Amino acid sequence: MDYRKEQIKTVVAHQPDPALRAIGEKVINRQRIFFDEGLLLFEKAELPYAGALANYIRESLHGNKTYFNRNFHIEPTNVCVFSCAFCSYSRLYAQREEGWELSMDQMMDMVKKYDGKPVTEVHIVGGVHPKMNLYFFAELL
């Protein structure tokens, strides 16, 4: 029998939560899990358990190969209309004089630095600025 399957069976057998163990059994049997089951994994499962299930599927599909993208980040602004609890660097729109905004030219200069490099993704992340709407970002393309 496949050693991966034996490993994941051991992990699932030692899961104390019956609902999470049932999800693990579905994964072992290559059955699709439903949205509510995925939500339960997200909310209740320890990260190593969820990771083991995900890795079992990944290795079942692709063997021991993992693919990564090569990206760089552009952060057009830290000025934001929201105050998300997880964000540690944004400046609210009312405090925008304390923040920064990159122009289109500044962002394109950043992209040009990677010309000829093996980059597979430009990751754009930052504050939600009222002047930087969908049309603004479409112009970057």
User: 75 and 48, same structural domain?
Assistant: no
The predicted structure's pLDDT at residue 1: 53
User: 107 and 82, same structural domain?
Assistant: yes
Q: Characterize the bridge pairing of strands 91-92 and 79-80.
A: parallel
Q: CA 109: distance to chain centroid?
A: 26
The predicted structure's pLDDT at residue 71: 94
The predicted structure's pLDDT at residue 129: 84
User: 77 and 52, same structural domain?
Assistant: no
User: 7 and 26, same structural domain?
Assistant: yes
What is the domain range of residue 92?
A: 71-140
pLDDT digits (tens, 9 = 90+) for 67-90: 888 999 999 988 888 888 887 777
The predicted structure's pLDDT at residue 93: 67
CB 78 within 8 A of CB 125: no
User: 30 and 84, same structural domain?
Assistant: no
CB atoms within 10 A of CB 127: 24
User: 95 and 52, same structural domain?
Assistant: no
Low-confidence ranges of the chain (pLDDT < 50): none
Q: How many CA atoms lie within 13 A of 4 on its CB side?
A: 16
Last residue of a domain, one of 33, 62, 91: 62
The predicted structure's pLDDT at residue 138: 87
117 CB-near residues (< 8 Å, 6+ apart): 70
User: 82 and 36, same structural domain?
Assistant: no
Last residue of a domain, one of 62, 93, 108: 62
User: 79 and 48, same structural domain?
Assistant: no
The predicted structure's pLDDT at residue 52: 97
Of 101, 103, 78, which Cα lies nearest the Cα of 89? Answer: 78
Domain count, the chain: 2
Say how far apart CA 33 and CA 89 lie, in whole Å. 37
Structure tokens at 30: 């290559």
User: 84 and 33, same structural domain?
Assistant: no
Say how far apart CA 37 and CA 86 lie, in whole Å. 25
User: 56 and 15, same structural domain?
Assistant: yes
